[in-house]
Structure 1
Amino acid sequence: MNTQSTNTAFPLDRLAIGNDPEATALVTRSGSLTYKMLNDRVGMLARWLDRQNLDRGDRVATWLPKTELACIMPLAAVRAGLVHVPVNPVLKPAQVHHIVVDSGAKLLITNSGRIKSFDGNPLDQKCVIWDEASILSDLKQIDDPMAPSAASDNLESLAAILYTSGSTGLPKGVMLTNANLSLGAVSVARYLKLEKDDRTLCVLPLSFDYGQSQLLSTWYAGASAHPLDYLTARDVTKACARDRITTLAAVPPLWVQLVDQDWTEASSSSMRRLTNSGGALTPPLVKQLRAIFGAKTDLYAMYGLTEAFRSTYLDPALIDDNPTSMGMAIPFAEIMVVSDGGKIAAIGEEGELVHAGPLVARGYWRDAERTAERFKPAPEESEYGGLAVWSGDTVRREKDGLLYFVGRTDNMIKSSGNRISPTEIEEVAVGSGLAAEAVAIGVPDERLGHAIHLYIRPASNADRDAIDAQLSKYLKRNLPNFMHPQDITTVEEFPKNPNGKIDRNALAKNAKI
């Protein structure tokens, strides 16, 4: 285990230090790095960043697959006194443009193919776009890697802005501090019981808090991280066999695909733990995973919020008898169930999940209004006090202390592990000129969690089938795959509520029929 205290935060870039220098820290397509090499690479990239005429606190965005540079940037940015803004590699240029402009990023690091996708249209005059290959070439010339310094010692300074979709509008940036991320790494490594000889297959996007956690918690434990950009579920099983993986994290839709694969002895025998978030594991899925991996592999069900990193986990010993439970609070988190009256809910009573403690983020980037809506004073009964995240999710706590998810109180769609703003889909649909109005609804789906059903009121009297076909093509060009509607339905008029607004609940009921 890392030599840092397991009870206090520490500068994030120290994750590259304090472990066996000769142990393997990172394995990517470009090769393997020991912990000594990882620290050297972090210092080299930090020095390169330091030479780009940036001020402390400036934002640096990356729009990359899981390359070596993408993996070490969270540590290098902190060491250079900067703020990392990781962008999901599956996003389209329009979404990337919003994140870069909204964050005020001074640099965007990507690759030549993605640069061409901007079609000569600059992101922002204040943002310089760098080709990753050019930076890698520059790094070879650096002979004075930056060492840890006061720039990274401020635990309350911003370390990253992770963009997550809200129930309305475009994605918003969650501000995470040095302490948030380092304590998160300690917490996850502790409850997963990670050891130095563990090997984590990192299949989730590094732009997600759950994805970043794969790297940071693994490095805290002194173990080895194996990032993977996969095309098919078969790629995952092959990687598990090749690298003798012990730890695999995924979201329910990926688990559904993985249980249908042929798991050989080589791909499954080394597995010590499977972790799930982004949606509940169903009882049938738990049984299928048990049939493949047996009792030797621990199954961890988890619940998290980008605004608070992670909130709960279910002890693996309890999952067979309580497969739908969210579990209990993770280390450093205080989880409360709060009734409508603002008091702690009684056992069995439904209420809003409220998360307090040092993992709580600092709010939304440059958005005081939405920050005030979600980040509010903790209830009087809170042990930590201070600001807490009021999740908007309804849960209940049973007599045994286990928490159970009841439902969302907003209109968010959760599909394939992604939190999706229906408004973002609707705005693109209307922007096509084919729809006068649009409403996106999440419909329960066994494989996806929610499938997206899009209702539109056509902007013309053209043939509806033709409009649907044209709109489908437009959305595929302008939205990432996980935002594509499964169905498009045209309507003459939308149902309205007494306030004259579109009645989403009525549409949702129709979509489920």
Structure 2
Amino acid sequence: MVPVTSRTAGTVDGLVVRQATRTPDAVAVTHVGQELTYAELVSRAGELAHRLTAREVRPGDVVALLMDRSVSFVVSALAVLMAGGAYLPLDRRHPQDRLRWMVEDAGAVLLLTDGPAAVIDWAGETPVEELGPTSGPVPAPRRLPDPPAHPEHLAYVMYTSGSTGTPKGVANTHRNIVDFVTDPCWDPERQARVLAYSPLGFDSSTYELWVPLVQGGRAVVWSPEHFDVAELKHVIARNGVTAAYFTTALFDTIAHEDPTALAPLRDVTTGGDVLSVSALRRVREHCPRTTVVHAYGPTETTVFCSLQPFAPDFRGALRLHLGTPMRHTGLYVLDDTLRPVPPGGTGELYVSGSHLARGYVGRPGLTAQRFLPDPQGAPGSRMYRTGDLARRESDGTLTFAGRVDRQVKLRGFRIEPAEIEAALVALPEVARAAVALREDLPGGRGLAAYLVPRDQTRQAVDVDEVRRHLSRLLPPYMVPSAFTVLRELPLTVHGKVDHPALPRPAAPAEQGPAPRTPLEEKLCGLFAEILQCPPVGVDDNFFQLGGQSLLAIRLGARIRETTDHAVTIRDLFRYPTVARLAAHLTSDTAANRET
């Protein structure tokens, strides 16, 4: 039985409750053997919603969620919406100071966690409450809290990197999400079982949870410690997953390592950066029944605002562009006077329509700068200034042409270099700093930091301490993989940093001890191959040399291909040097022989 409710179909929780009345016994969420039917999901979320209202959570209030990807998170997010509030997803991998800042900036009235509340000593004045188990007897249905949320009420806040040195919170409403998840592009049969694995503070989690749950599908929650293509393949096959989203960097990695992992899927959506045509072609060749959708959309436009599908029967050239706008959405390419550019012209891309977020939390000035009146729309309508450059081709399609500012995309994450630079110059030994995205780093594309020491006589900066300092302030994806100390930063004639003139970061000058065994020699070669760097020593750390999770996936695959060792992605994170990894693999092999 579903709780008694007066919910409207214009809200996210209203749509989920309506679906629960239609298919109460259908499975809504699964995670590692745990299942909740729609009736159970709504009953558990309703009971938690009553707890939240007892804690005086009111419509419009923000509730922070510090949780792992699990059934508990789905229950909690739905409960916050049922109580009329908005959820703020937090990522445990982020530094505590950054988490506290986001909680305070969003004005959260409560922090809900699936771990022990006592260990969260960084929340300041914000009350912390433990969720408790979401298993056991299902609570008896009862009427959901009143008053219900309105379509214009806030539904969630998600933070992105900010050019002023601090992250900015994007505030999305129920109407934004409902218009996104009810778009006709999401076919219920093709979206019947959606893989939900994205970091909870990543806006693609909106697609992964609410698209299946508003139309009777199933959210298949997957919470890997580290992404592994072989494990992904197993999860998709075991759970009958039909649809998934991957950032372009991850899509490229899967296409390179094992594109057949995606073959059971009916829909694969990818976006967040420039997609490799060769990766797209490789997936299409190995997944003949899968539709690949190339998506575009900043967080401020609620996940995606335009789509370019490549269906199995597509026979044209694989030419990538920004696609077709989703329902109730428009794309404009405008010049500096906000006039449309002619065919063949390049201008700034603006997005209009119902996907546009309310704005930025507590930043009316920035909201006014980025969300402008829509000169082509009805009175009161707005358009979002993306900062992306686009070219209008002669056939009317729009292609990405760069940025008007310094914002960059790395592995699907939007990064403002100015935020990293602000953290660097806060160090007493750093006078000036510049951060750039480079293609020529060990391991390929990554962030490089350039530092000018305050003490010009010593010309030295403790790079290890700088890295530790950034790790205490920024999420891992914003910590540069290379650091270069310069006497001065190159400047343009206007006195600004001349980014094209910044030198290529030098490879590590010192090489550690040479390999001592055939296995160490093999691993040293594979480290250097994947990182595209000079020979490494047995004590060199893969991740300090420029490695990251996607390169670790490739390294693991190469080790498995060229040796007899079944190394896992977890092994590489636990044993990041050749010496430690070789010792682990050798001992593991010996243990297997004894058994």
Match of 1:363 in 2: 359
Q: Is the 8 A contact 2:45 2:79 kept in 1?
A: yes
Match of 1:454 in 2: 449
User: Displacement of 1:433 after TM fit?
Assistant: 3.5
Q: Is the 8 A contact 1:84 1:159 kept in 2?
A: yes
Matched, 1:124 2:124: yes
Match of 1:163 in 2: 159
Match of 1:4 in 2: none
Residue 148 of structure 2: which of 151, 172, 196 is its match? 151
Distance (whole Å) between structure 1 residues aligned to residue 335 and residue 257 of structure 2: 43
Against the structure 1 CA distance between its residues 423 and 376, is the aligned structure 2 distance closer, same or farther, given a 3 Å change threshold?
same
Q: Aligned partner of 1:13: which letter?
A: D
SS for the counterpart of 1:281 is: coil
User: Displacement of 1:70 after TM fit?
Assistant: 1.6
Show CA shifts across 1:196-233 (max 9, x none). Answer: 77211122122222221111111123111112222132
Distance (whole Å) between structure 2 residues aligned to residue 49 and residue 244 of structure 1: 35
Q: Aligned partner of 2:286: which letter?
A: I
Against the structure 1 CA distance between its residues 268 and 313, is the aligned structure 2 distance closer, same or farther, given a 3 Å change threshold?
closer
Matched, 1:286 2:298: no
Matched, 1:374 2:373: no
SS for the counterpart of 1:95 is: helix
User: Displacement of 1:458 after TM fit?
Assistant: 1.9
Show CA shifts across 1:471-506 (max 9, x none). Answer: 234334543221121211111112334554x42534
Distance (whole Å) between structure 2 residues aligned to residue 447 and residue 289 of structure 1: 27
Q: Is the 8 A contact 1:60 1:85 kept in 2?
A: yes
Q: Aligned partner of 2:210: which letter?
A: L
Q: Percent of aligned positions with the same letter in both sequences?
A: 27
Q: Is the 8 A contact 1:355 1:389 kept in 2?
A: yes
Structure 2: gaps spanning 5 or more residues: 1-7, 507-595
User: Displacement of 1:399 after TM fit?
Assistant: 3.3
Distance (whole Å) between structure 2 residues aligned to residue 450 and residue 319 of structure 1: 32
Match of 1:183 in 2: 179
Match of 2:195 in 1: 201
User: Displacement of 1:389 after TM fit?
Assistant: 0.7
Residue 55 of structure 1: which of 54, 58, 72 is its match? 58
Distance (whole Å) between structure 1 residues aligned to residue 435 and residue 333 of structure 2: 29
Distance (whole Å) between structure 2 residues aligned to residue 142 and residue 46 of structure 1: 12
Q: Is the 8 A contact 1:77 1:83 kept in 2?
A: yes
Against the structure 1 CA distance between its residues 418 and 462, is the aligned structure 2 distance closer, same or farther, given a 3 Å change threshold?
farther
SS for the counterpart of 1:191 is: coil
How many pairs does the alignment contain? 492
Residue 348 of structure 2: which of 349, 352, 360 is its match? 352
Q: Which has the higher contact order (CA 8 A, sep 6+)?
A: 1
SS for the counterpart of 1:216 is: helix
Residue 437 of structure 1: which of 432, 456, 459 is its match? 432
Q: Is the 8 A contact 1:13 1:148 kept in 2?
A: no
Q: Is the 8 A contact 1:253 1:449 kept in 2?
A: no
Against the structure 1 CA distance between its residues 300 and 101, is the aligned structure 2 distance closer, same or farther, given a 3 Å change threshold?
same
Q: Aligned partner of 1:307: which letter?
A: E
SS for the counterpart of 1:150 is: coil
Distance (whole Å) between structure 1 residues aligned to residue 118 and residue 416 of structure 2: 26
SS for the counterpart of 1:326 is: coil
SS for the counterpart of 1:399 is: coil
Matched, 1:308 2:311: no
- Within 5 Å, give how 1:215-230 maps onto structure 2: 215-230=209-224
Q: Is the 8 A contact 2:117 2:130 kept in 1?
A: no
Matched, 1:86 2:89: yes
Residue 267 of structure 2: which of 269, 273, 276 is its match? 273
User: Displacement of 1:80 after TM fit?
Assistant: 0.5
Distance (whole Å) between structure 2 residues aligned to residue 76 and residue 346 of structure 1: 49
Q: Is the 8 A contact 1:423 1:440 kept in 2?
A: yes
Distance (whole Å) between structure 1 residues aligned to residue 444 and residue 14 of structure 2: 37
Q: Is the 8 A contact 1:158 1:175 kept in 2?
A: yes
Match of 1:77 in 2: 80
User: Displacement of 1:449 after TM fit?
Assistant: 9.2
Against the structure 1 CA distance between its residues 245 and 465, is the aligned structure 2 distance closer, same or farther, given a 3 Å change threshold?
farther
Q: Aligned partner of 1:168: which letter?
A: T
Q: Is the 8 A contact 1:416 1:449 kept in 2?
A: no
Q: Is the 8 A contact 2:67 2:115 kept in 1?
A: no
Distance (whole Å) between structure 1 residues aligned to residue 407 and residue 397 of structure 2: 25
User: Displacement of 1:511 after TM fit?
Assistant: 7.1
Q: Aligned partner of 1:232: which letter?
A: F
Show CA shifts across 1:31-88 (max 9, x none). Answer: 1111111211221221111111233322100122212222233322221111211123
Match of 1:212 in 2: 206
Q: Is the 8 A contact 1:162 1:173 kept in 2?
A: yes
User: Displacement of 1:446 after TM fit?
Assistant: 11
User: Displacement of 1:191 after TM fit?
Assistant: 1.1
User: Displacement of 1:160 after TM fit?
Assistant: 1.4
User: Displacement of 1:413 after TM fit?
Assistant: 2.1
Distance (whole Å) between structure 1 residues aligned to residue 58 and residue 145 of structure 2: 17
Q: Is the 8 A contact 1:202 1:214 kept in 2?
A: yes
User: Displacement of 1:102 after TM fit?
Assistant: 0.3
Distance (whole Å) between structure 1 residues aligned to residue 443 and residue 327 of structure 2: 30
Match of 1:335 in 2: 331
Q: Is the 8 A contact 1:443 1:511 kept in 2?
A: no
Distance (whole Å) between structure 1 residues aligned to residue 319 and residue 486 of structure 2: 40
Which range is displaced more, 69-78 or 268-277? 69-78
Q: Is the 8 A contact 1:396 1:403 kept in 2?
A: yes
Match of 2:43 in 1: 40
Against the structure 1 CA distance between its residues 454 and 239, is the aligned structure 2 distance closer, same or farther, given a 3 Å change threshold?
same
Distance (whole Å) between structure 2 residues aligned to residue 414 and residue 186 of structure 1: 28
Q: Is the 8 A contact 2:89 2:200 kept in 1?
A: yes
Q: Is the 8 A contact 2:191 2:243 kept in 1?
A: no
> RMSD in angstroms over aligned alpha carbons?
3.0
User: Displacement of 1:18 after TM fit?
Assistant: 3.3
Match of 2:483 in 1: 488
Residue 469 of structure 1: which of 457, 461, 464 is its match? 464
Structure 1: gaps spanning 5 or more residues: 1-7
SS for the counterpart of 2:238 is: helix
Against the structure 1 CA distance between its residues 195 and 457, is the aligned structure 2 distance closer, same or farther, given a 3 Å change threshold?
same
User: Displacement of 1:440 after TM fit?
Assistant: 1.4
User: Displacement of 1:372 after TM fit?
Assistant: 1.0
Match of 2:531 in 1: none
Show CA shifts across 1:357-379 (max 9, x none). Answer: 11111111110110011011012
Match of 2:406 in 1: 411
User: Displacement of 1:22 after TM fit?
Assistant: 1.7
Show CA shifts across 1:318-340 (max 9, x none). Answer: 69624421112011211111122
User: Displacement of 1:115 after TM fit?
Assistant: 6.3
Distance (whole Å) between structure 1 residues aligned to residue 362 and residue 471 of structure 2: 30
TM-score (structure 2 length as normaliser)? 0.76
SS for the counterpart of 1:336 is: strand
Q: Is the 8 A contact 1:195 1:221 kept in 2?
A: no
Against the structure 1 CA distance between its residues 399 and 390, is the aligned structure 2 distance closer, same or farther, given a 3 Å change threshold?
same
Q: Aligned partner of 1:95: which letter?
A: R
User: Displacement of 1:272 after TM fit?
Assistant: 0.5
Show CA shifts across 1:88-116 (max 9, x none). Answer: 34321121011001011111123447963
- Larger radius of gyration, structure 1 or 2? 2
